[in-house]
Every structure is written in C-alpha cells, then in structure tokens.
Amino acid sequence: MSVPDKRLSVRVIAKTPNPQQVAYAAMHQDYSSNFVGNETLPSEEKCGEIIIRRLLNAAHFGPIEHPQITFACGYFPHSVMQQARTHRSGCSFDCQSFRYTSDGIIKAAWGHIDDVEDAFYLRPVGNYSDRQGKKYYYSQIQRETDLNKRVDASRAYRMDIQSGLSEEHARGSLPFDYRQHFVVSFNARSLMHFFDMRAKKDAQLEIQWLCDLMFPHFYEWCPDIANWYKDNRWAKGRLAP
C-alpha cells in the first residue's frame, strides 16, 4: 500500500545487531548442554534459515523476543496513537504531549497551509468506506472547509494561551486528529504481533500506513524472519503468536 501523506515518517533509532543470530542463540541454548557464549554461531543468513525451520514453521516464537528495535514515528494523527496502544504486547511507547508542546498549533493559527498541515492531519481527497462498507467521497471542498476549521481552532487555542490558560487546559478545544510524534520499541515477536493486529485490512487506514512504513525496516533488520512473516501472516489478521 502506498502512503499518500508524505509527512508520515518512520526512522530507526536503534536495533539489535545480528538479530537472527541472537534469536538462534536463545533457541540453541534451550536444548544444548554447552554454553552458547563459548560457541561460534552460524552466519546471520544461516541462523535465519534455521529459525524458520525450527521455530516459525513450528509456531514457536519465544526466542524471537530477544532482538530489539526502536522506531521514531513522526506526524501521525492522534487516532493512530489510540489504535497503537490498544491490543499491544511487549512494546513501549513515549508520545509527544500537548501538555508541554504547543508551538506547532500556534504557528497554524496564522493560516499558512504548510503550518496547518504540519499541525493537523486530514485524509487526502479520495474515495473511502466506513467499517460497514458504506462508500463515500471526500472532496477538495470538504477538505478545505475542514482545514479552515482547524485554523479557527488554532486561533482560539492561541488566544487561550495568551489569556493565561495552561496548555493542558487549552488543548481541550483542539480538533481530535492533531499530529503527534512518538518513539516505540518492540522485540521482533511483539513487532509481528503489532503487524498481526494493525496491518490487517479492517484496521484504521492510517495505522495500516504506519505498518507499511515500519515493515521495510523490519525486512532490512531481520530479512529471513520478515520474509517468512510477509508470506505467512501479513494482512491476514491471524491471532498474534
């Protein structure tokens, strides 16, 4: 799936090097009487092959919990954060708080289109459907009207701040889908769990985009595991391992 909102961004901050070797070492120690810390591990690629054969194809996912990865995610609507923190397992979030950060909203109050779009998320013009399958078209006129509403809300917010209200008080008048940045950490198993829940076809569109932006990083990091996941679980909505 292409991601039409080019502001949405996912970057890797940190990740376990040689993650497939790490998962292999954990698996190998389960049934080896030798201390794996003294052993020479197979190559990363070979470890990936063994993991698929002995773990993933046998539905054993425990050793996959050892490799860790951390993403910085930018400019996502607040509704994505609500979706992301629901049904999660084995991951940790820290999210931009509008109790402390208000500069973007105040800039949007001046009505410059880039500032408004940086501060608030609106779906692109196009065809959509609701959860019941009802189809509708979101027009350019509707979108421009919604943008103007957000400028008005930003101006009200700025006036509240200038009058002495705290950010946590003033933010109550803001439209729901202001953009937020967040940092999230997964282990390889919990990342697959997240994809199981949020890459499926009936998930909210924007969180599907988040998964689409995360997956190439997963593939670069754990290519054999990610390739197996893409073939066997991606967008199938199976129960998480």
Radius of gyration of the chain (CA): 22
pTM over 0.85: yes
How many whole angstroms separate alpha carbon 221 and alpha carbon 198?
20
Helix (H), strand (E) at residue 129: strand 126-129
**Are 187 and 179 contacting, i.e. CB atoms less than 8 angstroms apart?**
no
- pLDDT tens-place values along the chain, 241 residues long: 689 999 999 999 999 999 999 999 999 999 999 999 999 999 999 999 999 999 999 999 999 999 999 999 999 999 999 889 886 778 999 999 888 878 899 999 999 999 999 999 999 999 999 888 899 999 999 999 999 999 999 999 999 999 999 999 999 989 999 999 999 999 999 999 999 999 998 899 999 999 999 999 999 999 999 999 999 999 987 765 6
Alpha-carbon separation of residue 167 from 95, 117, 182 (angstroms): 16, 20, 19
| Domain chopping of the chain, boundaries | 9-94+179-232, 101-173
**Are 240 and 193 contacting, i.e. CB atoms less than 8 angstroms apart?**
yes
Structure tokens at 108: 């949007």
Structure tokens at 229: 């996941």
Structure tokens at 111: 């009505």
Structure tokens at 153: 């809300």
Decide which of 3.30.1360.170, 1.10.490.10, 3.50.50.60, 3.40.50.720 is the CATH code for 9-94+179-232.
3.30.1360.170
In DSSP terms, which residues pair with 6 in a beta bridge?
none
* Nearest Cα to Cα of residue 195 among 227, 234, 228: 234
